[in-house]
Amino acid sequence: MQAERLQKILSRAGITSRRKAEKLILQGRVSVNGEIIRELGAKAVLGKDDICVNGKAIKAETEKVIVALFKPRSYVTTLDDPQGRPTVVDLLKGISERVYPVGRLDYDAEGLLLMTNDGELAHRLQHPRYKVPKTYLVKVRGHPPEEALAQLQQGINLEDGITAPAELHILEDDKKATWLTLTLREGRNHQVKRMCAAVGCPVLRLRRTQIGPIDLGNLQPGKSRRLKASEVRALRKAVGLDG
Q: What is the pLDDT of residues 177-234, one digit of tens each?
A: 999 999 999 988 899 999 999 999 999 999 999 999 999 999 999 999 999 989 999 9
The CATH number fitting domain 4-57, selected from 3.90.1300.10, 1.10.1060.10, 3.10.290.10, 3.20.20.190: 3.10.290.10
Give rounded-to-5 percent helix, strand, coil for the chain.
25, 30, 45
Please state, in angstroms and rounded to a whole number, the distance separating the CA atoms of residues 242 and 111: 27
Whose CA is closest to 121, among 67, 164, 71?
67
Does residue 106 carry a catalytic annotation?
Answer: yes
State the helix-helix crossing angle for 119-126 and 18-26, rounded to 10 degrees: 110
Please state, in angstroms and rounded to a whole number, the distance separating the CA atoms of residues 88 and 171: 29
CATH number of the structural domain 133-211: 3.30.70.1560
Residue 103's contacts (CB-CB under 8 Å, 6 or more residues apart) are 77, 113, 114, 125, 126, 187
Q: What is the pLDDT of residues 7-47, one digit of tens each?
A: 988 887 777 878 888 999 999 999 999 999 999 999 998 87
Catalytic residue among 49, 106, 173, 215: 106
Backbone angles phi, psi at 146, to 5 degrees: -55, -40
The answer to whether residue 243 scores a pLDDT higher than 60 is: no
8 Å CB contact between 112 and 94 = no
The answer to whether residue 79 scores a pLDDT higher than 90 is: no
For the chain, domain boundaries: 4-57, 66-128+213-238, 133-211
* Topology given in CATH for the domain delimited by 66-128+213-238: Alpha-Beta Plaits (3.30.70)
Q: Region 120-129: what's the mean pLDDT?
A: 90
Are 4-57 and 66-128+213-238 in the same CATH fold?
no
